[in-house]
A and B are shown apart, each in its own frame.
Chain A
Amino acid sequence: MLNSKNEKLITLVEKMPAFPKSVQQVMQLTSDINASAKDIVRVIECDPVMTVKVLKAINSSFYGLPQKITSVQRAVVHIGMNTIKNIALGVAAMGMLKATNKANFNTSDFLLHSLTTAAISKLLAERLGLSSTQCSDCFVAGLLHDFGKVVFAEFMPDEFKLALEKSKDQQLPLHQTELEFIGLSHSQAGKMLAEKWELSDELIDAIAHHHNLDPSQNVLKDCVFAANQISKQMQFGDGGNPLIEDFPEAISTRFGLSLSAMCEALGDLAAVKTEAQSFINV
């Protein structure tokens, strides 16, 4: 039963529209023969749906690349700017996600949460002195960590609405109430989709376990976990989960700071929020 439900979800997600501002920008940039490649890449990089479509295409078994590709920029080098542009155009042709849906899930607030988590995750990766490629991967992992939620809002709005309401009313973790009403948490749904799309193992793991408090080797997952809490602490947008987790010991050890100390150490993150908003407000 669950499997056929999952299969259906996978099929539905193929037709998933992207966020309004990026759809608008892609339409505009792809109508301008002089539009710069980096502007188009930037728009795709800040939209979870478009990013996923590009990564799905480049990581398909057809290309048989020795390493999975986790960044849109890298995909450009492998399959060319025009192909990437046309993938984005294909997504844009699906229409746009509505700001409100039957689940009462605000997709603008969601995107702000995702984008700020992505940016903070990258900042944390830079603090850890990771390579520039790993820092970019942390951005992508942050952008996609809650992808399952927007899928639920679009395709299972009634059940997701109940999960959102119970989580808010009883201050329970959203992934817990999702299990109750949908039978699948957003991290499980994200994992299933990411596996189907043949994304990199680290990225799949970061999406699958971004609520898991156990110690892990995956630095991507740790950056996303921490960035998720920081974004919520700063009240940047809203991913629908009212609970903020303190850093478990493994995360504190990794970064050498607690959640509150890290929020202080990062200083004023207003610029992160402002930049993210520039990709959201139509």
Chain B
Amino acid sequence: MKFKFWGVRGSIPTPGPTTVKYGGNTTCIEIRTDDHDLIILDAGTGIHALAQNLLKEMPIQAHIFITHTHWDHIQGLPFFIPIFIPNNQITIYGGIDPITNETINRALSVQLQYSFFPIREAQLNARIEYATVKPGVPVKVGSATITPIILSHPVLNFGYRIDCDGQSLFFTGDYEPQLNIYNPEDDEYAEFQSFVDEKWDEVVLAMKDVDALIVDSSYTNEEYASKQGWGHGTYDSGIKLAIAANAKKLFFTHHEPTRNDASLEVIYQSLLQNNPKSRCELLLAQEGVDISL
């Protein structure tokens, strides 16, 4: 299995000279099985450059797994050029929103409306299918098995584990580990904490022993103090997950949009200094770099 980041930025694209090294596109990860089957995690703006790269291998079969429907994870869907070209087959996977009861087809159809986009859904020439995934229920794509788990975010969000060719990868999507909503002096604190601990164990089990763990690490601890409940993790919460799950490589992604290459590297150096004996290799997600597991 190989993979490549095409988008590593959180919330909004950040093009410009200060983000050239790590990249400014929103979330998109390309995964290739040893048989060259194509799995794409999220369709942020990074999917546009991936699409350009795919033009030389048309027709394609692509399996796009959407972690959640926040804009920065679906915004590139209408610009995924293969959807306009006949003989391509594209399957888009996602959950059912518990509030709207809408399935993942809405992520595309809502964008392909007259006021927002010049092309109608009916005019797409590729064969597009939508599939609803359920937590804990694995999906097969060629030699890969993709297993979703719900991870806490302000909208339904799936983390996906991909097991393939004897290797494994886990991507959290956007994820803030659940905090206790009660204060230690509240009667409900202990019981709620037991629910939180139980969920944590479930999450760690879902990413157990992966070769690559890709986590939403938007914030430093200092930043997080004023951003609790926003739905994103920290560098340290990522490290804590990686250690608990015994991950081999940890990739920090969803770089905060005001963070430039230099500030990312300052943070990275301090992470290396603070975790000198970590058995897990710490890495910053960077666009355009091929990673073989």
Q: Give per-residue flags for A92-135: 1 if the beta carbon is below 8 A from chain B beta carbons, else 0.
A: 00000000000000000000000000000000000000001100
The answer to whether A83 and B195 touch (CB under 8 A), given A38-B188, A64-B134, A76-B181, is: no
In A52-87, the 8 Å CB interface with B consists of 57-58, 60, 62-65, 73-74, 76-83, 86-87
Docked-complex contact B191 and A62, CB < 8 angstroms = no
Kindly identify which residue among A63, A87, A136 contacts B99, using a CB–CB cutoff of 8 Å.
A87
Once A and B bind, how many residue pairs between them come within 8 Å at the CB atom?
74
Assembled-state Cα–Cα distance A37/B191 (Å) = 16
Docked-complex contact B154 and A38, CB < 8 angstroms = no
Docked-complex contact A37 and B156, CB < 8 angstroms = no
Docked-complex contact A83 and B188, CB < 8 angstroms = no
Identify which of B95, B134, B153, B192 gathers the most chain A CB atoms within 10 Å of its CB: B192
Write the chain A residue with the least CB distance to B137.
Answer: A64
Docked-complex contact B150 and A77, CB < 8 angstroms = no
* 16 A-B residue pairs with CB within 8 Å: A38-B181, A57-B98, A62-B95, A62-B98, A64-B136, A73-B188, A76-B195, A77-B196, A78-B150, A78-B199, A80-B154, A81-B181, A82-B155, A83-B154, A83-B156, A90-B99
User: In the complex, which range does the number of interface residues on chain B fall in?
Assistant: 20 to 34
Docked-complex contact B229 and A81, CB < 8 angstroms = yes
Give the secondary structure class of B's interface: loop
Q: Which residues of B contact A76 (CB under 8 A)?
A: 178, 181, 195
Assembled-state Cα–Cα distance A83/B70 (Å) = 13
Q: Which residues of B contact A83 (CB under 8 A)?
A: 98-99, 154-156
For the complex formed, measure the closest distance between the CB of B67 and the CB atoms of chain A, giving whole angstroms: 13
For the complex formed, measure the closest distance between the CB of A144 and the CB atoms of chain B, giving whole angstroms: 19
The 3 closest A-B pairs by CB, nearest first: A82-B154, A37-B181, A77-B195
Chain A contributes a number of interface residues (CB within 8 A of B) equal to 27
Q: Which residues of A contact B136 (CB under 8 A)?
A: 64
B223 in the interface, Cβ–Cβ < 8 Å? Answer: no
A184 in the interface, Cβ–Cβ < 8 Å? Answer: no
B284 in the interface, Cβ–Cβ < 8 Å? Answer: no
List chain B positions with a Cβ less than 8 A from chain A: 95-96, 98-99, 132, 134-137, 150, 152-157, 178, 181-182, 186, 188, 190-192, 194-196, 198-199, 229, 231
For the complex formed, measure the closest distance between the CB of B283 and the CB atoms of chain A, giving whole angstroms: 28
Kindly identify which residue among B132, B137, B181, B231 contacts A36, using a CB–CB cutoff of 8 Å.
B181
Kindly identify which residue among A57, A63, A87, A133 contacts B191, using a CB–CB cutoff of 8 Å.
A133
Write the chain A residue with the least CB distance to B198.
Answer: A77
Q: Which residues of A contact B137 (CB under 8 A)?
A: 64
A41 in the interface, Cβ–Cβ < 8 Å? Answer: yes
Write the chain B residue with the least CB distance to A132.
Answer: B191
Write the chain B residue with the least CB distance to A89.
Answer: B99
The answer to whether A73 and B135 touch (CB under 8 A), given A62-B96, A83-B98, is: no
Assembled-state Cα–Cα distance A90/B196 (Å) = 26
Assembled-state Cα–Cα distance A270/B155 (Å) = 41
Assembled-state Cα–Cα distance A60/B156 (Å) = 14
Assembled-state Cα–Cα distance A133/B182 (Å) = 16
Docked-complex contact A37 and B229, CB < 8 angstroms = yes
Docked-complex contact A77 and B178, CB < 8 angstroms = yes
Assembled-state Cα–Cα distance A132/B191 (Å) = 7
Assembled-state Cα–Cα distance A101/B95 (Å) = 40
Docked-complex contact A73 and B191, CB < 8 angstroms = yes
Q: Please give 16 more A-B residue pairs, beta carbons under 8 A apart, in addition to A65-B135, A82-B155, A83-B98.
A: A38-B181, A62-B98, A64-B135, A73-B188, A73-B192, A74-B195, A77-B192, A77-B195, A77-B198, A78-B150, A80-B231, A82-B231, A83-B154, A83-B156, A86-B99, A132-B191
Write the chain A residue with the least CB distance to B228.
Answer: A37
Q: Which residues of B contact A81 (CB under 8 A)?
A: 154, 181, 229
Write the chain A residue with the least CB distance to B133.
Answer: A62
Q: Which residues of A contact B134 (CB under 8 A)?
A: 62-64
Q: Which residues of B contact A77 (CB under 8 A)?
A: 152, 178, 192, 195-196, 198-199
